[in-house]
Structure 1
Amino acid sequence: MSELRTTLVQADLRWEDIDANCHLLDEWLQEVTTSDLIVLPEMFATGFTMAPERMAESMQESRAVAWMQNTAQSHNAVVTGSVAIAEDGHYFNRLIWARPDGTMATYDKRHLFRMGEENEHYAMGNQRALVSLNGFNILLTVCYDLRFPVWLRNVDCEYDVMLCVANWPSARRLPWRTLLQARAIENSSYVIGVNRVGDDARGLNYSGDSMLIDYRGDALIDEAPDRAFVRTGVIGRQSLEDFREKFPVHHDADRFTLHP
């Protein structure tokens, strides 16, 4: 059965400096020799900027998106993380799923963090996004989405992995860790959560706490907080299917229709 080698990149980002962040990540990723999926934090190229009129670029002109495509090709791995994107007169916090063959999938963040005024600067997405890799179906999510279990509900085991990239401040690290594990348990799925570390220009501190979690809620990767790291873990599909067969909680889940 399939395996998925997943690399978590918990980085200390440079504020609103796209080129510096891409260069920094190039250096960090030199140590990654074999991976299927490389996961970067939310807004990895700029930090959690509320100045998209200055920092957002179009998909065609985005330096960060071009870097992701080149990195995916050079590492022969999918590269994912979110970027500030300008499109049709709006700005989006857009998760990019860059494949080695040059194709991409995208997900626009649904839940915009109003306490940080994100909803005043960015447009809301209205479509869930599922992608596939190595036989795993993966749900793409961004940061604040994690607090909304209806949006993330795994109906009929449609996904095997929930992926969440974030800029989640250390003041709320307990909810971050708790919600990642809760989403894994309630959805009988693996969860990948990648957060940044360091301080940003707004005075917020980030503790990281990036995790790779299995369907029981047990952490397969759970590094010490407050430091940058690159770490690769392997998840297996057979063990997930065995668990779902022995503990088929999904058969008793409530049925509903979601209208974004």
Structure 2
Amino acid sequence: MKITGLNLDIVWKNKTENFQRIEKELQHQEADLFLLPEMFSTGFCMDAPEVSDRHLESLEFLRKMAKEKNAAFCGSAPVEDNGRFYNRMYFVHPDSQVDFYNKRHLFSFSGEDQVYSPGKERVVVDYKGFRILLQVCYDLRFPVFSRNNDDYDAILYVANWPEKRVRAWEHLLKARAIENLAFVFGLNRIGTDGNSLFYQESSHCFFADGTELSEKKNNLVTAKLHLEELKEFRNHFRFLNDRDSFSIE
């Protein structure tokens, strides 16, 4: 499976401009799955009543792109649902089927927990033979929630992770791959947001042994994931058999 992530310089609170940028960047690209950053349509914004989708704007854009590209599209957006706001990660299949995950670990340092509601369920998506765990940004710091119970092959992390703390982002992505014997693709944004936070290019895809798999050109990050290679690695190194059990409430 070929995954292409877009290191997007997100325009603050401007969905139309961000949709146009994404279309332009990806117009000549082909992949099985395209990955977009956290809150790709607005930036990581706490003005939820102002920026949140009320008419599925971001989802409809992803559906449009998935149909045009005959590929899956994945990214998160602020959404209002039944009077609550969520940082919602969509996974849109080529046939317009939609899976979604509401971010569980809200970034209290920025006040996200005061504005958005947390998700409660882990979500694993089946696509092209891969079982894919959906995760958003701050989730990366909490390994119990992403512990592999032999129920996934790859993790997708979408993020707005500032340059000030980027070393933690990069180290933790590799750690999640190694400890869970899984592919991990972490896509971060680039540029400067409306809070004057700078984001450097720091997207990566790691194999289960911590090997970097991604290739980078311009604003694109691409990796090819081979499921048989992962299965062979897991069959040889059966470390997951010795894992601890956790109960998540």
* TM-score for the superposition, normalised by structure 2: 0.97
Q: Match for residue 26 of structure 1? A: 23
Contact 1:112 1:118 (8 Å CA) reproduced: yes
Q: Match for residue 251 of structure 1? A: 241
Q: Distance in 1 between matches of 2:28 and 2:112?
A: 34
DSSP 3-state at the match of 2:16: helix
Contact 1:211 1:223 (8 Å CA) reproduced: no
Establish whether residue 148 from structure 1 lines up as the match of residue 120 from structure 2: no
Q: Distance in 1 between matches of 2:35 and 2:8?
A: 11
What does the per-residue CA deviation read over 1:149-188, in whole Å, with 9 as the maximum and x for residues that have no partner?
0000001x21100110000000001000000000000000
Deviation at 1:191, TM superposition (A): 0.1
Contact 1:209 1:222 (8 Å CA) reproduced: no
Q: How many residues align?
A: 249
Q: Percent identity?
A: 37
What does the per-residue CA deviation read over 1:90-126, in whole Å, with 9 as the maximum and x for residues that have no partner?
1000001111111100000000000011011100100
Deviation at 1:222, TM superposition (A): 5.9
Structure 2 alignment gaps of length 5 or more: none
Please point out which of 6, 15, 20 is paired with 1:9: 6
Please point out which of 168, 171, 194 is paired with 1:175: 168
Q: Distance in 1 between matches of 2:8 and 2:28?
A: 14
- CA RMSD, Structure 1 to Structure 2 (Å): 1.1
Amino acid of the structure 1 residue aligned with 2:59:
V
Q: Distance in 1 between matches of 2:98 and 2:122?
A: 15
Q: Match for residue 86 of structure 2? A: 92
Amino acid of the structure 2 residue aligned with 1:189:
A
What does the per-residue CA deviation read over 1:8-55, in whole Å, with 9 as the maximum and x for residues that have no partner?
11111100000000000000001213x111000000000001111011
Q: Match for residue 98 of structure 2? A: 104
Please point out which of 65, 69, 87 is paired with 1:71: 65
Amino acid of the structure 2 residue aligned with 1:254:
D
Establish whether residue 131 from structure 1 lines up as the match of residue 125 from structure 2: yes
Contact 2:215 2:222 (8 Å CA) reproduced: no
Contact 1:8 1:231 (8 Å CA) reproduced: yes
Q: Match for residue 42 of structure 1? A: 38
DSSP 3-state at the match of 1:111: coil
Amino acid of the structure 2 residue aligned with 1:191:
V
Amino acid of the structure 2 residue aligned with 1:165:
V
Q: Match for residue 213 of structure 1? A: 206
Contact 1:210 1:222 (8 Å CA) reproduced: no
User: Which stretches of structure 1, 4 residues or longer, exceed 4 Å deviation after superposition?
Assistant: none
Deviation at 1:256, TM superposition (A): 2.7
DSSP 3-state at the match of 2:96: coil
Contact 1:180 1:193 (8 Å CA) reproduced: yes
